Structure 1
Amino acid sequence: MGIAVSHWPLARAVAAAGQIGVVSGTGIDSVFVRRLQDHGVDGELGAVLERFPSQHVVEQVLARFARARRSSAARYRNIAMPSHRSSRVAVELTVLASFAEVALAKLGHTGTVGLNLLTKIQLPTVPSLYGAMLAGVDVVLMGAGIPAHVPGILDRLARGDVVETPLAITGPAPRSGAPVLRFDPAWLATPTPPRRPAFFGIVSSHVLATALTRRASGTVEGFVVERAVAGGHNAPPRGPLVLDDRGQPVYGPRDEVDLEAMRDLGVPFYLAGGVTTPEHVRGALDAGAAGVQVGTLFAYCRESGMDPRLRADVVAAAQCGGVEVTTSTRASSTGYPFKVASVAGTLSDGAVYAHRERVCDLGYLREAYVTADGAIGYRCPAEPVQSYLAKGGSPEETVGRVCLCNALMATAGLGQLRRGRTAEPPIVTSGDEVADIVRLAGADSSYGAADVIAHLGRDLPTAT
């Protein structure tokens, strides 16, 4: 669900309705401080922050970011980009931001709340997990890579142990070895270690699910099986890459999920991708799934974190049959295919893309590499081209790349202002079945999370 689209109001609404409400943890530190600059601290957030175990961290963050409201003509104050040299203050901010997001999602009900992180974004992972655990997160869901190390990290955090993970480096490792990312729960003066949440791996095939089951450093309590029609990042096709006449990757029989093999693992699994009708839900359950994961329908509901004007534009376009979704092999700097919806005024428009000046000031998708002098540097093919080339990157890698960090922040209404008060343009990612949102849009072209749940569960037996 990108950055802050699946935010705490949506997760709270879904969890309160008896389902698993999931918050996105991607870029949560930047999301948190930008919200503070826009809105300050209201009663609910204030009550949540009072429960954080290290009040000096709260005081420092509020003093820096919540003292005055940002005007609509002012830029956001950024935080430092993540690196293996990030200060303890930066790490503590990530813990606090993750804690607040999950704690807000859990207010007012006894339902289940999860946290979704991308394995590819390594640097904030452990502090994000710990903050969520301090808030009582029930489930952690991770994909975009093979998160075999994460179950063991959850075990260590639940014991209050120090966590050390080697920094993933693209290309040759430094002679002295990869730097170690160290996180010590004692920094937060937590009175007792938090409860370990369940861990769900997000996979694209039974092969990956089997590998994760065997290689995981701890127990895996479930899987989310994402098919290629899902929005956001997709797994690449297995085998040689073949593109269709629109430049999209072609998926074949080898990419079909063997549901019998999934059942044989003996671990609950949820089907994701293209789930927009009651028939899809019934089919998943009949195939042995424990349930489904739904993204696109919730992304356009009233409780979602998508900018309301952008959300209304997509719904209106869908009602006219004017939203096309393509799978781009170039947009994401991760190298994974990425779904892009064609929406006017967004980076799906070639003119908008060409007009945007390349800037890299959030840095979540940067990769670590060894510089010519043996140091550790960071680069991203979506950063300014000359900067990327100076860091040893190839020009071919820069073609068509989108700064997803800034674009997805803009999609959530948190975009930065640039020179001339130009706003960062957003990007909309959706599943292939985005047109199905018209089934739910009422007379005012809107619908709520409860409407999605009622629609999808229409044919299911009610509890007695």
Structure 2
Amino acid sequence: MNRSIIQGGMGIYISSPHLANTCSRAGVLGTVSCTGAERVLVHLLQLGDIGGHYRRALSHFPFPEITERILAKYFIEGGKPVDQDFKEVPLFSMRPRRDLIELAIAASFVLVWLAKEGHDGPISVNYLEKLQIGHIYHLTGAALAGVDFVTMGAGLTLQIPGVLDAIVSGGNPSYRVYVEGSTRGNETISFNPREFLGEKFPRELKRPGFLPIVSTDVLAKLMVAKLPSGSIQGFVIELPTAGGHNAPPRRKGVFDETGQPVYGEKDEVAFNVLRDLGIPFWVGGSFASPEGLARAQALGAVGIQAGSIFALWTHSIVQR
């Protein structure tokens, strides 16, 4: 991936399909946030799906019977009354309900499909690793929509390449989920897309590139050592001033006069180590300017990841 700027994944619907689509058309790697995608889709359908964009995307979902069930349950023509509560979405568990799995697959498909609509530029999808249970379903939906990259952080993402490989080859993805208080420490959740969705599920899909988000060269080096060659197509290195789910300082309990944690020498990234890995990388955290881009490239990066500057752009949902 040779684009020098990545528009980062932000929040629930801040990195919307429209923002990612617009960025990709402009030569940036557009990233659509699909964290909580099932809730975003349900919310928008109950608001009447202004412009019909989400119903249009659902019409391209390759399992029309699922589309029909979702629309019958959640779509409200003209939008719900102001004093009416939104219908609730079930919570994920280690044995999710069938309708929740359908909704997760369809929702990630829809958001990625809209981000890719009308152009041939690359689109990445962003999830938070620590929201673990839904990954095998959401990534199935994103892959069905032809997503080009998966960008993930907020946890150690060593399991993601295997999940992607299983989904695109017609296999059965699984994920080890950390269970607090469990004597075993984790439980495994598995999924058979072909059994669940039927014979119409493709036997082969395009394998998205994987761009893990890390905060240190140590973690990048660890991932390269533990994963098979070719698992990672690039790293996003988020420095302490990057917005979002930042790694805490290695030195605990030290704060400045405003109460913010203090990062020190142990938190500095050894860019020479990153360069030696031979894998492209982008740098995030106060690099969102022409000078910042040049500074990142001087460190050996392909370019930068930027978030806040795109959140404040006129094409962002924040500005509407």
TM-score for the superposition, normalised by structure 1: 0.64
Match of 1:195 in 2: 206
**1:161-200 to 2 correspondences below 5 Å:** 161-173=171-183, 178-186=186-194, 187-189=196-198, 190-200=201-211
2:315 paired residue number: 303
Query: Structure 2: how far apart are the matches of 1:211 and 1:91?
Result: 32
* AA partner of residue 291 (structure 1): G
User: In the alignment, residue 268 of structure 2 is paired with which amino acid?
Assistant: E
1:216 corresponding residue in structure 2: 227
Q: 2:95 aligns with which of 85, 89, 102?
A: 85
Measure, in 1, the Cα distance between the counterparts of 2:46 and 2:135.
Answer: 24
Pairing 1:2–2:15 present: no
Percent identity for Structure 1 against Structure 2:
39
Match of 2:41 among 15, 32, 36: 32
Distance (Å, rounded) in 2 between the aligned partners of 1:161 and 1:94 = 19
Partners of 1:28 and 1:275 in 2: CA distance: 29
CA distance in structure 2 between the partners assigned to 1:286 and 1:223 by the alignment = 16
Judge conservation of contact 1:224–1:269 (CA < 8 Å) in 2: yes
Distance in 2 (CA, whole Å) between partners of 1:245 and 1:44 is 48
Residue 138 in structure 1 maps to residue 148 in structure 2: yes
1:65 paired residue number: 74
Letter in 2 for 1:118: L
| Corresponding letter in the other structure for 2:211 | F
Q: 1:114 touches 1:138 (CA, 8 Å); kept in 2?
A: yes
**Residue in structure 2 matched with residue 206 of structure 1 by the alignment:** 217
SS in structure 2 at match of 1:39: coil
Q: C-alpha offsets along residues 200-256 of structure 1, whole Å, 9 cap, x if unaligned? A: 110001001001111236611100000100111111111333122322111001111
CA apart distance, 1:77: 1.1
Which residue of 2 is the match for residue 293 of structure 1?
305
Q: 1:279 aligns with which of 288, 291, 297?
A: 291
Q: Match of 1:161, SS?
A: coil
Contact 2:313 2:319 in 1 (8 A): no
Alignment partner for residue 103 of structure 1, among 100, 113, 117?
113
Asked if the contact 1:206/1:262 (under 8 Å) is kept, the reply is: yes
**How far apart are 1:282 and its partner, in Å?**
0.8
1:121 aligns with 2:122: no
Q: In structure 1, how many angstroms separate the alpha carbons of the residues matched to 2:187 and 2:218?
A: 31
> CA separation in 1, counterparts of 2:131 and 2:202?
29
Provide the C-alpha distance between the structure 2 equivalents of 1:209 and 1:229, rounded to a whole number of angstroms: 19
Between the aligned partners of 2:165 and 2:81, the Cα distance in structure 1 is 44
What is the TM-score of this pair, normalised by structure 2?
Answer: 0.91
Q: CA RMSD in A?
A: 1.7
For residues 2 and 83 of structure 1, what CA distance do their matches in structure 2 show? 22
* C-alpha contact (below 8 Å) 1:41/1:66 kept by paired residues: no
Per-residue deviation at 1:41? Answer: 6.9
Q: CA deviation at 1:42?
A: 4.3
1:11 aligned residue (20, 31, 49): 20
Deviations 1:415-461 (A, max 9, x none): xxxxxxxxxxxxxxxxxxxxxxxxxxxxxxxxxxxxxxxxxxxxxxx
**Following TM superposition, where does structure 1 have runs of at least 4 consecutive aligned residues deviating by more than 3 angstroms?**
41-47
Cα distance 1:61–1:41, how it changes in 2: closer, same or farther (>3 A)? Answer: farther
Q: Report if aligned partners of 1:149, 1:216 keep a CA contact under 8 Å in 2.
A: no
CA apart distance, 1:188: 2.1
Structure 2 residue corresponding to 1:263, chosen from 267, 275, 282:
275
1:166 aligned partner, one-letter code: R
Question: What code does the residue aligned with 1:71 have?
Answer: P
Structure 1 residue matching 2:317: 3-state secondary structure? coil
- Give the Cα–Cα distance (whole angstroms) in 2 for the partners of residues 67 and 149 of structure 1: 38
Question: CA shift at 1:79, angstroms?
Answer: 0.4
Q: How many residues align?
A: 306
- d(CA) in 1 for partners of 2:137, 2:224: 24
1:148-175: per-residue Cα shift (whole Å, max 9, x none)? Answer: 011011001011111222321123425x
Residue 53 of structure 1 contacts residue 188 of structure 1 at CA under 8 Å; is this kept in 2?
no
Secondary structure class of the residue paired with 2:54: helix
Query: Which blocks of at least 5 consecutive residues in structure 1 are unaligned?
Result: 309-464
Identify if the C-alpha distance between structure 1 residues 212 and 158 changes in structure 2 by more than 3 Å, giving closer, same or farther.
Answer: same
Distance 1:105 1:285 in 2: 28
Once residues 223 and 175 of structure 2 are traced to their aligned partners in structure 1, the CA distance between those partners, rounded to angstroms, is 18
Structure-2 separation of matches of 1:66 and 1:40: 8
